[in-house]
Structure formats: C-alpha cells, structure tokens
Structure 1
Amino acid sequence: MGSQSHQLSEQDARQVLRLGQRRVALAIYQNLLSSGIGDPAGIHLQISKIQGLLGNAEAQNHHVLLAAEFAPSDPRVVLAYGSYLFRINQLADARQTFEQVSGESGLESLAIGNLAAVEISEGNPIKAKQYLIKALQLNPNNSHALDLSLKLLGKEIIDSAVLSHFLNENQATNSSLLFMLIGQQLEGQEHSTTALQWLEKAIDVDPANVSAQLQRAKILSKVGRSDEAIEQLLVSLAIEPGHIELMLTMGYCLQQVNELNSAIYFFQRILEIEEIHTEASNLLGCCYRFAGQEEESIPIFSEALEHAPCDGGLLCNLASALRNVSRIEESLVLSKQIRSLYPLSREGFYSYMFTHSTLPRSAAAEMLSVAKEYWQAYRESLLKQNPAWRKLADRHPLPSTGQLWQSLGANTEKIKVGILSAEIGAHVVGMFLRSFLQHYDRSTFHVTLITANRRYEVQENELVDMADAVVVLHGLSVLAAAQAINDQKFDVILETSGYTNNTQIHLLTFRLAPVQCHYIGYHATTGLNTIDYLIGDSIVTPTDFDDLFIEKIWRLPDIWLAITYHDQLPAASSLAQTDSFTFGSFNNGAKFNQKTFAYWASALKAVSESVLVIKDQSLTSTKRKEWISESLEALGVSRSRLHFLPASESWQDHMSIYNIVDACLDCTSWCGSTTVFDSLSMGTPYLAIKGDTMASRMSSSILSGYGCAEWIANSTTEFAEIARRMADHRQGLRGGKQAMQRRVLEQSLTKAKRTTQHLEQAIKLMLTSAHSKRSAA
C-alpha cells in the first residue's frame, strides 16, 4: 500500500503540473521529501524544474545542487547539473558535463540539444546546427531542439522556401507540435498574423493540442481580438478545465471585453487552487479597480505583495488604488519606491505623474523636474536597445504653408492629423473627440485615429467611422508602433491620454510629426519635450501657468473642449418632493479629500436643512461611506444630511438622477469637467471651485464659457454665499430646469462647431510656426 500511495502521489504531482498548477505540485513533492518517500534526487530535480517555471532561479539552482549531493553520478542529475552550469554562464564546464551524458540511453537527444545551446551561446551556429540534426534524429519530437533550430533560422523563418526546407528536414516530427513551435517563433518576431495561421494548422492536426490553443488565444488577445480568444478558450477549458494558464488567459480576455464579474470568477478559482499566484492576484485587483471598487482591490494587492514585495505591477496598481481612495501620502511613498526599484518603469512613472497632476501648485516644480529626467533616461535606453530609434529622431520635412492651406484646391493635399488616443469608445475623452469628428472640415483636413487598445464598445466603432482612417497598433512592439505612426507622415499629432490608463504617450518620445500636441485627456504638463503644445484656454491655463509646463500653451479663444449629447439624453425636470434644498456630487470619488469636504460643509451649513446626495461607483464600500460621513461630521455636518447612491445601470439612469438635485458641488484640487457638462445639460446649476492648477480650473472654464461665471467660487466663504443665493431662488431653479437644458444644448451644438473651428485654426498656425522655425534654421 505504501508503494501504491507513493506512486499515486507522484502521479498527482505530474498531473497537476501538466495543468499548470505549479504550487500544488511543489507542495506534493515537498511533502514527499519531508516524509522520506521516494527518490530524493529525482524529487529535488522535479522541485528544481517547478522553481524554474515559477521564476525562482536561486531555488531552482539550489535543488539541482541538492540532487547532486544525493546522486552525483545519476545521468539525470548530471544533465540537470549541466543546465545549471549553462544558466550561470560557465559554458565550458556545461559542455563537458553534457558530453558526459550524450551517450546515455533516453537522454542522448536532450544532452546533444543542450550542447547545441552552448554552441549558439558561443556564436557557433554551424556546429550548433550539426548537434541539432543529431538530436532530432534521435528524438524528432525534442521540442527544445526544434525550438533552437527555428531560432537559428532567425528572420528567414518568414521566407516560405526556407520554412518549406525546414519542414522537409523534420518530416518525422509530430506535425501539430512542429506547427505550434513555428507559430511561437513567428510571434516572437512580431509576425502575429502568420503565427496565428500556423497555430490554427497545429490545432487542425490535433484538436486536443491545448498548448497551441492557448498560444492562439494569447495572440488573438494581444492583437485586439479578445472576443475571439474567449471562444477558443471555452473549447480549451472543456478539454482541460483545471488548467491554470487557460483560466488566467480567459480571465484576462474577459476583463478586456468588460465582463468583469466573469473575469473575477476565473481569477478567484485560480487562487483557490494555488493560493499564491501573483499574476492572478494582480488581475483580480484590477477587476475591482475597473469596477470602481478601489477599497476592495487594496487588500488583494497588499496580500500579494507579501509574497512578491518587489513586483512592479502590484506596486503600481496599489499606488493607483490608494490615490483613488484619497490616501495620497501612501500613494506617493509607493511611487517613490517604484521609481527607486524600477527607474525606467513606464507604469510607475505614469502613476507618479497622474497623482502629482491632482496636487496643489506647490507640487508642479518637482513633477516637471522628474518628468524631464525620466524622459531623457527613457530615450537613452531606447537608443541603446535598438539603433533603429535614431531614424525617428529627425523631424519630417514640412510641406510649404501655401501647399497646405493658402491655395486650397481640388488637387491640394490635405493637412494630415493623427489622433493618438486610448479612449476611442465610451469614455469621456471619446465624447469630447466626437464633437471634433462630427464637425471638422473634411476638405482641408484628413483625420486618422491611432488606436493601440480595443475597448469592445459600440461607441468605438462609431468614432472610427467618423474619421477618414484608422491606424491600429494592436500587438505591435513600441518600436514597430512608433514606426507605423511615422510611416503615416502626419503633419500634426494630437495625443489625448497623457498619463491616464492605457496611454501610448511614450510612442512620441521621438518626434513622429512636425507638430505634436496634447489635447483633452490630461490636466498638467507631460514633461516630454517632443510635445510642442498643450491646448487649453485663458481660464484653464492662464498665462501665469506657463512656467508649470514644458509645452507651449496654446489657448483657444473659448472653452478648450466641447461636447455634444445624443438624442437619448433624458428630459430635465425637478423631482423635488420637499422644500429642503438638495445638493449633489456626482464626481469621481478619487477627487474627494478633506479640502473638498471643507467646501461642501460650508455650503451645507450656509443652507439650513439642506441635504447632499453623493453618487459614485466606489460607494459600494462601507468603509468609503464611513470615511466621508466622519469627515463631514467633524466639520459640523450631521450624517443624517448625507445620502449615498451607487452606480446606475445605464447612462440614461445616471443622468436622470440630476432631476432630484437642485445644484451640484465641485471638488478640489482635481475638479469636475464631464460632470459639469452633465449637470448643465440636465438643467442643474453647478457650483465650481477655482484653484491654482489646470486640474482645479476645468469647471471654472466650462461655466465661464456657458455664461455662468457667477457660480464660480475662490474660497469657502464665496462657495457658501453662492450656495445660499442658489437656495434662496430654489423655486426658480426648479422651475427653470427645462429651459436651462434647452439653452445649454443649443449652446453645446454651437460651441462644438466653434471649438472645432478654433482647433483647426490652431493646427494651421502651429504648422505655420513650425515651418517658420525650420526655414529660419
């Protein structure tokens, strides 16, 4: 029975390892060791293999050395010891060790394949090829030798004649395995379309080849086809329902198509099996973040960091989550730690920049200094990695201004504008872009949307259809994406994301157009000296802000952005049931802080018996609601005057909530923007706070543009006084909602057209300026 129990335990370990359940297998093998069951050398070798798969190089090597203590002459151990020597770059000793077992029955092919790896490392491809031929003669399905053979082909793998010859050489190999390895090699060289074709061939030959199915799903997701990847993974999971990597990829793809609850299920299932799985924990935390449940994500990231304290992804996501629940100081400490550990981490730098963009003006100088230093180091690192980046360092030759617009005719080339955006879809930036795309002059401008990520939304397709063209960067490396943009020979690139989610601003590290600007999506300097202009206006970016930006500020004569609401906007009306004045805050909960609460408290105390309705998706958290209640209570506002609402089922339902509110309250020092437009469009006044940074003046710009400057406050005293005046005229405000909605919607349509014209004129003048500077040079 003992022998049978031992065999079953090893079988269990092998089975769960085949399913990718590495930590489960590791626990089984460790239990065997501690129980004194089985061959200790063999078990140490298995543990070493698993530690290698987990990325624990030190533990991987340690267990090889332990195996060597138990059975130094065991051929399996000698082979593993040779691999250990290879990993630590002792190539001569590794070669000698592999030669010792190159004649051992059952191990010859592996040992000879490893000798080929040594020759490749030493720059001897011809000798390596000879070893590989021999290794594959001994075992045509030696996947390591096949993979090395494909790597020796290098870029020639895309040549059909070369690949045909390789296939003829390996006719004895399992076709599904061979096709899969070809697909993997092609994907490694960024030939995703061809890679998919070979993986599909592998699956056709063997419909049960789960590894090929997994690779296909990963590539589909990478190139923006996660919806198709999900279909593949459903088939794969029916074959191997407990496969960790399949579940992880399925969860990721579901997250990409915004099926967050289903994604959470798969990540939780992985953690039930493995308990510790850094990537699953990170993605699970992200699901809660994307659902607006930042508080729920924090313990997930924190617990995972106990096992992987230096994991950059976990640290960045935790820093962002802390910022979004107003734990700014903790977020800044983490950002500093990330920058220290990973000076060139884009995600860590972006998190730092976004957090600082929401802080008071006193943080601006440090932010600008850090940004300049980062981008210089990042640019130098790219040049070291690949000299091809140098080709992008030169500007495009500028067309003459006359050719561009002074004598426009039927045969004149249009001004080519590229809009680089991560928000092409149901995003507030997408709403602002819609106004431009609806109204730009198609006889003068050719507009291309540049997308690097799919949003899987109806609005994504709508916006793409409005533009003249689209450049899709899905699945491309940074260099390939930059080259794809460069090849378009744009006159102007408008970048809309700044340091927000999925930004591609790093693609503009080197100049890809004569003029590069930031517009709409970010509210501070990018700190990137290849961004020539940041487009604002006289209120959101007044002249005394110039020293806060590395870019030149281009001020539009009216509001710097515009919005056009579609026909599904609910009708405005007042649903007030009592005489009590109702304030509302529908801003992103990440904007809440003690300074904002001081403003809110001043308004509530100025208007007796008034109440405040606070609506945000983060308010599913009891902890979050308690923090808000405690903060306002400390400022003299009773909890009974606060009412919390969760996220609505639809956008129309959300907008309808404005009908229960008499006036909306702003935040600082990261104020409202979209919510200001929403409030006005629903006939609801908005009480703004004017600060000393771009992030704290957006609401003031919008109100001024709509002729509502009397609703802008510069202090808590003014805020309270405006609130009191509004409450004194509550009946007029309630009765005038419909008229205000009509007026604002009419203004919005006019402003959308006017802002588009102003932006077009700005683009022309920017090009004129760039041309003049080039001519002078």
Structure 2
Amino acid sequence: MTQISSLRYTDNLHQQAYQSLLKNDFQQAISLYEQAIEIEPELKSSYWYLGVLLLLQGQETEAQSTWLMAMLDIEENEIEKNTQELAEILQAEANRQNTFDNYHQAHLLRQHLQEIQPRNIDNLLYLIQLEVKLATFTNETIENSQIINLLQKSSKLEFTTDLLQTVLQNILETVPLFPKSIELAQASIPHLEPQKLLSLLLRTSVTVAYSMQAPTPGAKYAELCLKIAPNHPEILRHLAACYQNSGEHLRGIEIAKQYYALMTTLVDKVQASSLVIRGFMHAGGYWEEANLAFQHQEELFTQLIAEQPILDGIPHMCRLLTGTYFFPYWRDAAATNRKLQNQVAHLFQSSLEIGRQELQAKYQSQLTAKKAHGNQVKKLKIGYLSAYLKRHSVGWLARWLLEHHNRDRFELYGYFLSYKDTQHPLQEWYVNQVDKAHKLGTNSGEIAECIYADDIDILVDLDSITLDISCEVLALKPAPIQVSWLGWDASGIPTVDYYIADPYVLPDTAQSYYAEKIWRLPETYIAVDGFEVGIPNLRREDLDIPPEAIVYLSAQGNCKRHPDTINLQMQILKAVPHSYFLIKGFAEEEAVKQFFIQMAEAEGISAERLRFLPDVALESVHRANLTIADVVLDTYPYNGATTTLETLWMGVPLVTKVGEQFAARNSYTMMMNAGICEGIAWNDSEYIDWGVRLGQDAALRQKITWQLYQSRRTAPLWNGAKFTQQMEEAFEQMWQKYHNQWKKLLSKCGKNTTTNKKPSFS
C-alpha cells in the first residue's frame, strides 16, 4: 500500500471511528482506532481518541497508558502542539457528554484535561459547574482547583467572563454559605460586569441573611457589594442590619449612621434613623445615645405626618411602618405611642392602596353566597399568618391554640412566610397540624392571592409590625375578617378589624387610642399547657455565689433593659445586703457590663455582686436554669412575655411594674391569670418594696412557689383547651357580626342588588 493510499485509508478509518463514537458504539470505535494506529502509528490523534474511548468505558488506567505511550516518542518541540490537540479532543467530548446530561463522564474528561492544562480557567469553571450539578461540590472543590489564585493573577490568562458569571451564580444559589464561595465571589470582582455582579451579590446577601438566617456570611456578601458600589444607600442599610443581627453591634451602629448621613428626604431620614435606634437597642448599654435618637425620631415622624407624603415604593412603606417598633421600649405612653403608630399605619395604607388598586378591588369584590348567608357555613376557615411558627416565642406559645382547635367547627390553614426547611420538630408540627399548609416566600401579592384563593373567613396575624411582609398582606385585605393576636402590640393598619386582648393586658380606656376594635377574651389573651424543661447547667457554686445568698435574676434581652428600671433593681440589691444579681443574655458584652457596673457603683454596690450569664442553646435548659433565682426582676416599660410565662411555670416569684401600654401589662395579666398578686407593683416604690420583701421573706417565696405549682391544675393561664374554646367563641361571634352587617347592607340595597362595598367594623 502506497503512503498516499495508506493516509487515505487511515482518514477513512478515522471518519468511521468518529461516527461510531458519535453513535456511542464505543467498541466499534475502539477497534477502528486500533486499526488506524497499526497502519499509521505516527498519527497521534488516533491515540488521543482511543484513550478517550477507553476512559468512557471505565478503563482509566488503560486510557492514561495509551496517551503516555504516544507522548514518549514525540519531539520536545512538538509536545505543546500535541498536548493542545489532546486537550481540544477532551474538551470537545466533555461538551458532547454534557449535552446528553452525562455529567459524570463530562466531569471525568475534564479532570484529565485539568491534569494536562492546570491553568485552564474555563475548564476549572466547567469542573466546578459539573460538581454543583452532581451535588458533589464542597468547600475543598474551590480550594483544590486553585481557581481563586488564578483569578487573582489572571492578567495574562484568558478565560470566558460570561462562564465565570454563570458558574458563580450557580454556586451562590446552591452553596452560598461555604467560605470559599465568598472568596470566589471576591476574586471575581475585577473580571465581571459590575452591575450584574452587584445584583447577584446583593440578592445572595439578602437570601443568606434572612431566608437562610445566617447574617454573618450575609454581611460578608454585603461588604463585597460595597467594594463595587461604595456608599450605596441600600447596601449600607442592609449591611447595618446584617451586622446588628450577627452581634457586631458597634459596626452595625456605625454603618447605620453612614446610611443616615446619605439621606436627603424626610421619609428616608425616618427609615435610616430607625436603623440607628435598632443598633443602639440591640447592643445594650447605649441608652443615653438611644434617648437622643428617639427624640430625633419622634421629631421626624411629627414632620412626616404633618406633610402626609405619598410613598412610591413598598419597601419605603414597610420600613416606615416598622419605624415605631422600639417606642414602647423607650417609654410607657400608650395614648401617644398608639396615636403615632395609627397615623403611620394610615399613611402606609393610603400609599399601598395607590399602588395596588387593581388587586385591592379584586379582594373588595369577594362577596359570595357564603358570605351573604353566613349561617349556612358548616366550618369556619381560619387562616394563621406568620413567619415564626417554629423555634421562636410565637411558635412556643401559639401551639396550644392549634392543638385544641375543634376540627368539627373549624378548618385550619397555615401561611408560613419566609419558610425555610430547618427540619426543626416544632416547625414541622405546625405544618402537619393545619388542614392545609402553604410554605411561602416574601412576595406579599402572592401570599395575599393564596389566602384569597383559599376563601379564608378569618385571617389571624401573629406577627404585627415585627414583619413587614405580614403588614403588606393585611393591608391588601385578602380575608373579610382580619385579627391581630400574640406577636406584638396592634399594628394600627386600617384593614385589621380586631385586636385580641383580655381584662388585664389593656386598661379600660384603651379603645380610645386603638384603631382596631379590641376584642377582650373573658380571662386571658394567652394560655399554655406547659413547657418542656431540661436539666439545668447553672449552679451557684460555679458562679461563686454562697448557698445562703439571695439571687435576683434578669433574663430579658437588652432592648428591654431601661436604665430607670435598672436603677430600681440596684436599689433592691442595695437593700438586701447578701444578694447577687444575675444578668442573662447580652449583646455588646463589654458595653452591657460597663453599663450595669456603672449603675451599680452609682448606688454604692460592688461590681462583685453582679454576674453576667451568656445565653444557652436550648430553651429547655434556659427554663431549667431559671430556678437558680430566688426572685426574677421584670423589665419596664416593656415586660417579659414568654420569659414571664416560663418564670411562672418554673415556680419562681416575679416582681413586675404595671404600666399603661400592652407591653407594660403582659406580666400583670399573666400573674393574675396564674392566681398570683404578690409581686405586682403599680409604681416605682412598690416595685422596690416587693423586690426587697421577696428577697428577705423566704416563707413568702415558698408560699408563692407552692401557689404557682398548684395553679397548674386550675388557673386559666395553664388551660390551653379552655382558652381555645374562648378564642373559638370569639371567632364565631366575629363571623356572626360580619354576617349580620352584610344582611343589613343587602337589605338596604335590595334583595337582587349586589355591591362591592364592605361593611364597616369601626
């Protein structure tokens, strides 16, 4: 056979072999390439393809031997050319396998490509992308690939920037919490289009910080955003919140101040000022600065309400609505605080209606035969709206209502906002407890549509202004009757019809300054059947406290530790010489310690009598640890709520001061509904007197403890079933009132007339 005819025959074999490869007839292709090698051993491409085929057949060692054998007799000046040829063949076949979703084969081919071209950034990116698809991606994937080092030194290396953007997006959408994911994002900044990258990083930061509840890495992504867009207001706002939520309070305050300094409009200043206040309150120990910030915030709100601007974006509306959140922590001025809250809520509602007219009109026209003939409804549909039906105070307290609901009379729906699959038993309990559970995100329009589609009769909001998403949903009025319960004080939103209270938690005059109709249950607005209690890990000897000493405890968060109340607590401590004060849970540790020490020393009390205790991981252990205290000293003007219930359940005497506002009467109603009056103070003097008396009178403490344990059998506070019956009666009465108002409205309009107007509940 002549050389020319031999080459032609080899080319023909190559074409046949490649066609067999494309048809996935690997054995035929292998046979043909072996023939080509036998005829023309100098043609290296036959070896390259043969090795690829052996690799695809699972014969990795044989494939490597085939390539090595071909390389041995190549001239040095030809090695680079032949290596490039092998690389191109590996890459082409990897791409082909990828189109058929054969990710394992594509990954294997690219691994061998990496061995011969370790600085091929595109190949490294494809490898990472394949590992994400195969769910084998780990933190070590990026580290071992050296992709970060290459990107940092890539001025002389070529790669596809669009591929980098795509792969980075895949990683951040899949495993954003990996430290190397953050490092890769940082290394990508010089190479990608700034606005696209900024959008991706900010979206990732928000998802990580809130949906994934990981504010520390959320802050890391926000910091990268600032590298791209320094002094960007929205990034600064988000970064400040991330720092505050992750415990970096001083940095959070500083960034919040930077954010405020950039604001020019009154609306923006109100929102930014709220963020500064939030930083001070969560940090603790900065009450002097917080007091000035509160005064400034009130001045801004007064100007804003006088101007009555139309807000042009939902984020602006919601941030404005939640801007009053900390006022009850600052002062007990129920009428003043509620007036401000109601005015802000009205401004929020008015602005929202302008942007959502079409959607609101749809909900306003939801009159149906069932609504007009309410008595014919077999079961009332009750919807529970919350982001906190999980391991949270709302989750611990609301469960008894759902546990005891009468399923013959009520159909239960759960709207779980910002849902995250945490696998926590309490969250899953709630999901399984309702007849229909909706695991939702943060889009208020979609949430409202879901409620509307379910034809809910009464929507119960458990979040109030602790969650802006809930406020948006309520303002859209997707259910004919909307009720606020448990989560916070009333929101003041005009579309909320009722606010659940009891005879004690609000004074008799409260209706004059509430926008919602106050619906008072006959005994208590909250009841639990009990709490899970673990094994205590806190002992006096570990804290260097003598056995005979009197131990006072404050177990509230920093936001509730008002200096005026701390001053009263120090006076109690001073009057009971052999006493110690335990302060549990603090944020900015040194600032809180110095704050308490200064307050103590001002009363002539040694700092040696103070003990600062960190939080514990499990709520059950926290409850068990409460029994180390002889007396718990409550906060004011914002009392304990869940902590008060836990304290009473554990049989520990409590001293509380009763005020005007809901937040200042929580412990009062709980003690009354547990059958305990000892420890209830109506002024500063009584607070001190009760604190001293309970510290000095061991017999009185024992009596209270015995009464509290006995109250578990009979008291309304510990009777979840009875409480549920009273709530259900309230729901049915609300529905009957709604039905009667519709009947009156329809009778005025005529039997055959329909109307879109809804009855008033004011």
Q: How does 1:268-347 map to 2 (within 5 A)?
A: 268=223, 276=231, 278-292=233-247, 294-306=249-261, 314-324=272-282, 325=284, 326=287, 327-334=290-297, 337=300, 340=304, 344=311, 345-347=316-318
Same amino acid, percent of matched pairs: 20
Q: For structure 2, list consecutive stretches of 5 or more residues without a partner in the other structure.
A: 1-159, 190-196, 746-762
Counterpart in the other structure of 2:527: 562
Q: Which residue of 2 aligns with 1:532?
A: 497
What corresponds to 1:16 in structure 2? none
Contact 1:541-1:553 at 8 Å conserved across structures: no
- 3-state SS, counterpart of residue 487 of structure 2: coil
Asked if 2 retains the 8 angstrom alpha-carbon contact of 1:320 and 1:351, the reply is: no
* Partner SS state of residue 461, structure 1: helix
Opposite residue 331 of structure 1, the aligned amino acid is F
The answer to whether structure 1 residue 658 and structure 2 residue 626 are counterparts is yes
The reply to whether residue 601 of structure 1 matches residue 570 of structure 2 is yes
The one of 521, 525, 545 aligned to 2:487: 521
For 2:15, the equivalent position in structure 1 comes to: none
One of 368, 391, 395 as aligned partner of 2:339: 368
Amino acid across the alignment from 1:322: F
CA distance in 2, matches of 1:207, 1:231: 23
Map of 1:630 onto structure 2? 598
Q: 2:390 matched to which residue of 1?
A: 425
Aligned CA distance change for structure 1 residues 399 and 369 (closer, same or farther; 3 Å): same
Q: Which residue of 1 aligns with 2:553?
A: 584
1:179-578 superposed matches below 5 A = 209-212=163-166, 228=174, 230=176, 241-243=187-189, 245=198, 247-256=201-210, 257-268=212-223, 276=231, 278-292=233-247, 294-306=249-261, 314-324=272-282, 325=284, 326=287, 327-334=290-297, 337=300, 340=304, 344=311, 345-360=316-331, 362=333, 364-365=335-336, 367-368=338-339, 371-372=342-343, 374-376=345-347, 378-384=349-355, 386-394=357-365, 396-397=367-368, 398=371, 400-404=373-377, 413-457=378-422, 458=424, 459-476=426-443, 478-523=444-489, 525-565=490-530, 567-570=532-535, 577-578=546-547
The count of aligned residue pairs is 553
SS of the aligned residue for 1:351 comes to: helix
How far did 1:605 drift?
Answer: 2.9
Any idea what the Cα deviations from partners look like across 1:538-593, whole Å, max 9, x if unmatched? Answer: 00023222212111111112221123445453479985742121100001210111
- TM-score for both structures, normalised by structure 1: 0.64
Counterpart secondary structure, 1:643 = strand
Shift in Å, 1:608: 2.2
Are the counterparts in 1 of residues 653 and 705 from structure 2 also a CA contact under 8 Å? no
Deviation at 1:705, TM superposition (A): 0.7
C-alpha contact (below 8 Å) 1:431/1:564 kept by paired residues = no
Residues 157-204 of structure 1 show CA distances to partners (whole Å, capped at 9, x for unaligned) of: xxxxxxxxxxxxxxxxxxxxxxxxxxxxxxxxxxxxxxxxxxxxxxxx
Q: Distance in 2 between matches of 1:435 and 1:559?
A: 14
Deviation at 1:289, TM superposition (A): 2.1
Please tell me whether residue 610 in structure 1 is matched to residue 579 in structure 2. Answer: yes
The 2-side partners of 1:598 and 1:467 are apart by 46
Separation of aligned partners in 2, 1:239 and 1:269: 8
Number of the residue aligned with 2:670: 702
- After superposition, what is the alpha-carbon deviation per residue over 1:462-515, rounded to whole angstroms, capped at 9, x for unaligned? 221211112344253x43432332222111011111111444122222432222
| 1:642 matches 2:605 | no
What is the distance in 1 between the residues matched to 2:494 and 2:468?
A: 21
How much has 1:758 moved relative to structure 2?
1.0
* CA 1:610–1:772: 2 relative to 1, 3 Å: same
Task: State the secondary structure of the residue aligned to 1:710.
Answer: coil
Any idea what the Cα deviations from partners look like across 1:596-644, whole Å, max 9, x if unmatched? 12331332233222121111232x4312221232234334544332221
Answer whether contact 2:319 2:468 (CA < 8 A) is retained.
Answer: no
Match of 1:22 in 2: none
Please tell me whether Structure 1 or Structure 2 has the larger radius of gyration of its CA atoms: 2
| Structure 1 residue ranges without an equivalent (≥5) | 1-205, 221-227, 405-412
Q: Distance in 1 between matches of 2:353 and 2:169?
A: 28
Measured in 2, the distance between the counterparts of 1:504 and 1:612 equals 39
Instruction: Let me know the Cα RMSD of the aligned residues.
Output: 3.6
Q: Secondary structure, in 3 states, of the residue corresponding to 1:489?
A: coil
Question: Which amino acid in 1 is paired with 2:460?
Answer: L
Preserved contact between residue 318 and residue 348 of structure 2 (Cα < 8 Å): no
CA distance 1:746–1:464, shift in 2 (3 Å):
farther
Q: Supply the AA of the counterpart residue of 1:522.
A: W
Q: Distance in 1 between matches of 2:562 and 2:218?
A: 31
Partner of 2:121: none
- Describe the superposition over 1:205-257 as per-residue Cα deviations: whole angstroms up to 9, x where unpaired: x9974545666788x7xxxxxxx463899779758843464554444333232
Distance 2:442 2:242 in 1: 22
1:498–1:522: 8 Å Cα contact kept in structure 2? yes
3-state SS of 2:463 partner: coil
Letter in structure 1 aligned against 2:437? V
TM-score (norm 2): 0.65
- Cα shift readout 1:507-534 (whole Å, capped 9, x = no counterpart): 22243222211100112x4222221111
Tell me if the contact between 1:572 and 1:682 (Cα under 8 Å) persists in the aligned partners. no
Matched position secondary structure for 1:448: strand
* Bigger relative CO (Cα 8 Å, ≥ 6 apart): 2
Structure 2: how far apart are the matches of 1:395 and 1:635? 63
Match of 1:673 in 2: 641
Query: Could you tell me which amino acid in structure 1 is paired with residue 552 of structure 2?
Result: F
